[in-house]
Amino acid sequence: MRRFNLAVLAALILGTTLTGAPAQAQAGAPAQAHRGGGPRPLGIENCTATACHFDVPPGTYDVRVLLGGAAGSSTSVSGETRRSLLPETAVAAGGRAARSFTVNVRTPEGEPTGPDGTPGLDLVLGGTAPALADIRVTPARQARQILLVGDSTVCDQPGDPYDGWGQQLPRYLRAGLSVANYADSGESTVTYLGNPQLWGTVRPLIRPGDLVLIQLAHNDKTTDEATYRANLETLVAGVREKGGRPVLVTPIVRRWFNADGTLNNDTALLVNGLGVDHPAVIRAIADEQDVPLIDLTEKTKTLVESLGVEGSKAIYLYNEKRDNTHTSVHGASVYAGLVRDELVARHLVPAALVRVG
């Protein structure tokens, strides 16, 4: 009874935040009938011991996994281009644990300007001792989405050790809410708006009630303040015109310390060579236009300074690449957790639809 009430409560709360909309049309999707009506779920016959492939068209899919085996196990699930979909889950010997998530399938499957990737849905079983007892994949009946507009610190990075926080965000969400990550490496507000593979592709996908998180600043090094402000306002207006809900996100800090252990006011805190304080402009637009704000600059600044010069190296790729801008898998996961917390704190996503771990 308690589970039923929680589900009802989540549905009621969600109706006031993310408005439900039918899933994308599944042209060519499997159509075999079964006793429950509708298409037959795709199952474990599509899997090996470490991976699954489902021959489905682009769309949004609910995935239910049953984890565990004869021996103790610990299993995580990632999908498509290195997206983290389910955190590592331990199951005792002989036990079973059911978990569900909703996944976005598209072409290209990773960065919008990157290679197409493999058609269909690909899932990879990871963890220290992966064990999959069963799996079911069905088209999502009510697909709610969070669309991401951003740069390389947000995107689905194709190669290890790089990872964007948008790549880790799905692991923190339960079934019923998917992430469509349209962030792309090297993009500024200027290039994102001007590329038909980016804003020209994202805007038509926005449905009433969808959240659209916008984090663009790292590559606006030569963008003057008037242009930067106008570009962000164009993105906000474009989301609202489609019935979506824009959310402005200030950029993650760069790991660039002063001698006293604080972060540099210019390089680390995203003030460009023209003196444009990107986070300040974003905050101002959010205030003026009543746009929800996730101040990731402030959140990541506090965290990085608390970790210090040495401790913060693990968040970024300093040890691997001497890179103080891009995050490691660990760092992206930590930063995605900050985004999750803000989505809940600002009542943009119900707490019942997020994972704590």
230-241 average pLDDT score: 98
Count CB atoms within 10 A of the CB of residue 17: 17
Q: What pLDDT score was predicted for residue 292?
A: 98
Contact indicator for 148, 182 with CB cutoff of 8 Å: yes
Pairwise CA distance, residues 165 & 184, whole Å: 12
Q: Determine the CATH number of domain 142-357.
A: 3.40.50.1110
Mean pLDDT over 91-112 rounds to: 97
pLDDT at 41: 82
pLDDT at residue 64 greater than cutoff 60: yes
pLDDT value of position 261: 96
Mean pLDDT, to the nearest integer, of 108-127? 97
**What share of the chain in percent tops pLDDT 70?**
89
Q: What is the pTM of this model?
A: 0.90
Q: Quick one: CA dihedral 298, 304, 305, 309, positive or negative?
A: negative
Over the range 63-99, which residues count as b (16 or more CB within 10 Å of their CB) and which as e?
bbbbbbbeeebebbbbbbbbbbbbbbbebeeeeebeb
CA-closest candidate to residue 181, choices 216, 156, 206: 156
Q: What is the pLDDT of residues 306-354, one digit of tens each?
A: 999 999 999 999 999 999 999 999 999 999 999 999 999 999 999 999 9
pLDDT at 21 over 90: no
Torsion sign (Cα): 83, 86, 89, 94: negative
Residue 157 exposure: Cα atoms within 13 Å on the Cβ side: 18
CA distance 179 to 150: 13
196 three-class SS: coil
Q: Residue 199: helix, strand or coil by DSSP?
A: helix
Residue 98 CA to residue 40 CA, distance in Å, equals: 19
295-to-2, 129, 154 alpha-carbon distances in Å: 35, 37, 15
CB count within 10 Å of CB 36 equals 9
Q: What's the confidence (pLDDT) of residue 38?
A: 55
Domain ranges across the chain: 50-140, 142-357
Q: In the numeric block, which tokens belong to residue 226?
A: 């008037």
Find all residues with CB under 8 Å of 88, minimum gap 6, and list them: 74, 75, 76, 126, 127, 128
Residue 258 has pLDDT above 80, yes or no: yes
Please answer whether residues 120 and 46 qualify as being in contact, where contact means their C-beta atoms are separated by less than 8 angstroms: no
CATH topology match: 50-140 vs 142-357? no
What is the DSSP secondary structure assignment for residue 347, as one 8-state letter?
T
What's the gap between Cα 67 and its chain centre? 23
In the predicted model, is pLDDT for residue 182 greater than 80? yes
pLDDT-derived band at 28 (thresholds 50, 70, 90) equals: very low
Q: Buried (b) or exposed (e) across 132-142, using 16+ Cβ within 10 A?
A: bbebebbbbeb
Rounded (10°) angle between helices 225-241 and 278-288: 40
CATH superfamily of 50-140: Galactose-binding lectin (2.60.120.430)
In whole angstroms, what separates CA 327 from the centre of its chain?
14
